[in-house]
Structure 1
């Protein structure tokens, strides 16, 4: 991950087992709808992992909750549903997406998955196929999609880091959907990236959440404006 130059690989590997445990236990983090002012408003569905599920954060302080506040403040006719699960992979997202689309009938879908695939050493072609399928199913259901790109640190190998980065650009191009190239821009690529991370040095802390929101909301706002 280009932006995680100063984070050690052991910090990633140390968390894999705990993320797996969370997923197996069904830890939903923040898999709840943000309280809507208008229950009939079109839905923004966020499907992500611990980065979006408020892992280690006080409820209501994560970037998804902050984005929901921006939606309300700017009087955008939409409501946010956070269907993120700590420890989730693209395979998990793929298995859940059809039911989520049927239940919430979203007009916009934000997909923030893939990081845990890399941490577990899953094949990149599988990650790419899962993201493409989730995007395709969302578009077929009438939703516009915003894909959030992730990166791996170069100590995973420059070739692997590049190929992982290209998974997101390839899917976005093939599926003709929008992309935030690096979801953690301004968080993991700072002079002292650890300052914006929790003690595990993997999960962004509360101070980082507004930046994460600002990486997503302007791009999503453009999609909403088009509609």
Structure 2
């Protein structure tokens, strides 16, 4: 499948790319404003695009127009693993005090072939930390190309559904679902979604995120 080859290359670049700084520095919110905190990798950090073109920023624009009293903080870092997210989560929660946390990590773990249990433990740590801070959680899943073998790819995908069920989080099973088979949805590097595809990702994530903002 085209998405499988593209995803494998995307993850390879994300793994070896020098991590970029998270885009979480924002002005202090107005009193009473609730925050959506996004913890992701290059797919959430608008790799190759202006930050304003990424699905997270587009989601922030939509929230600003349709959900008064909410804002979005993007703390995503290109190349991030679940271990990195687990190490950062406490500080991000303390800094932003979010009402909703979107966890969109795990793809780089899969590329490295890290033990599924290790990825699960890291994701679990993030979920528990967010819930302990009274935040709702949206877990955003990813899939691995079939060349990683059926046991690993199946177990990798199940990590997200099992954790979501165990901790009763919202779940989006596969971030790239709307563009997975569309070659034209990717930049010239065959790796990262183009600006127009970010709109589809925004709409896809919105189906799981919007109910948490009510």
What is the rounded CA distance, in whole Å, between the counterparts of 2:79 and 2:119 in structure 1?
15
What is the rounded CA distance, in whole Å, between the counterparts of 2:183 and 2:197 in structure 1?
11
Report the Cα offset of residue 185 of structure 1. Answer: 1.1
1:136-175 maps to which residues of 2 (within 5 A)?
136-175=128-167
CA deviation profile, 1:75-120 (whole Å, cap 9, x unmatched): 3321100000000000000000000001110000000000011111
- In structure 1, the residue matched to 2:15 is 19
1:74-85 maps to which residues of 2 (within 5 A)?
74-85=66-77
Q: Secondary structure at the match of 1:220?
A: helix
1:213 matches 2:209: no
CA contact (8 A) 1:109 1:144 kept: yes
Listed as ranges, the gaps of 5+ residues in structure 2 are none
Q: Secondary structure at the match of 1:152?
A: coil
What is the rounded CA distance, in whole Å, between the counterparts of 2:92 and 2:31 in structure 1?
16
Report the Cα offset of residue 153 of structure 1. Answer: 1.7
CA contact (8 A) 1:64 1:82 kept: yes
What is the rounded CA distance, in whole Å, between the counterparts of 2:127 and 2:14 in structure 1?
28
What is the rounded CA distance, in whole Å, between the counterparts of 1:145 and 1:10 in structure 2?
28
- In structure 2, the residue matched to 1:65 is 57
Report the Cα offset of residue 159 of structure 1. Answer: 2.4
Report the Cα offset of residue 183 of structure 1. Answer: 0.9
What is the rounded CA distance, in whole Å, between the counterparts of 2:11 and 2:155 in structure 1?
23
Listed as ranges, the gaps of 5+ residues in structure 1 are none
Tell me: CA distance 1:7–1:18, structure 2 relative to 1, closer, same or farther (3 Å): same
- In structure 2, the residue matched to 1:31 is 23
Report the Cα offset of residue 146 of structure 1. Answer: 0.1
Report the Cα offset of residue 38 of structure 1. Answer: 3.8
- In structure 1, the residue matched to 2:40 is 48
Structure-2-length-normalised TM-score: 0.91
Q: Secondary structure at the match of 2:103?
A: strand
Report the Cα offset of residue 223 of structure 1. Answer: 1.1
The size of the alignment, in residue pairs, is 214
Report the Cα offset of residue 9 of structure 1. Answer: 4.5
CA contact (8 A) 1:9 1:156 kept: no
CA contact (8 A) 1:13 1:119 kept: no
